[in-house]
Amino acid sequence: MKLIRAIIRPEREDQVVKALEAAGIVSLTKMDVLGRGQQRGIQVGATVYDELPKVQMMIVVDDAKVEPALAAIAAGAKTGQPGDGKVFISPVEAAYTIRTGQQVVETPVSLPAPQMLRSAKQSEAERLGQAGPAA
């Protein structure tokens, strides 16, 4: 699995989301960020804006979905002008559901849930009235 971080223009956010959905990728996290690239901001008249508003999207996909995700991001974000954004790809070692503590990303080696998540899993079992092994 891979983590894709895309930093794009805010006005292209809807186009990127729709392109990702069309590619079958619906899960994502978005946040508003400030940043600058090679152009070091912009100048409008006498005013210089060192940092520009951007949207950062974080998407975790199977390895087979990386290329379709990148194509969707490019299709939705590209204007052909400086400042269209950047995409970063990183491997995902493990992922857990907070509520259950269950590992949701298959890795070559099954990793034990962190202590915090094991406690959450035990609490969930107790809440449901199920007996489970002590963490």
- Nearest 5°: the CA angle 11, 13, 19 is 130
Return the domain boundaries, the chain: 2-91, 93-135
- Of 6 and 103, more confident: 6
Q: What is the CATH number of domain 2-91?
A: 3.30.70.120
Q: Count how many Cα atoms sit within 13 Å of the Cα of residue 100 in the half-sphere of its side chain.
A: 7
Look at residue 94 in the predicted model and tell me its pLDDT.
86
What's the pLDDT tens digit per position in 93-111? 888 888 888 888 766 655 5
Phi, psi of 83 (to 5 degrees): 95, 10
pTM (two decimals) = 0.75
pLDDT tens across 31-83, in order? 999 988 877 778 788 888 888 999 999 999 999 999 999 999 999 999 999 88
For 87-105, b/e burial (b = at least 16 CB within 10 A) is beeeeeebebeeeebebee
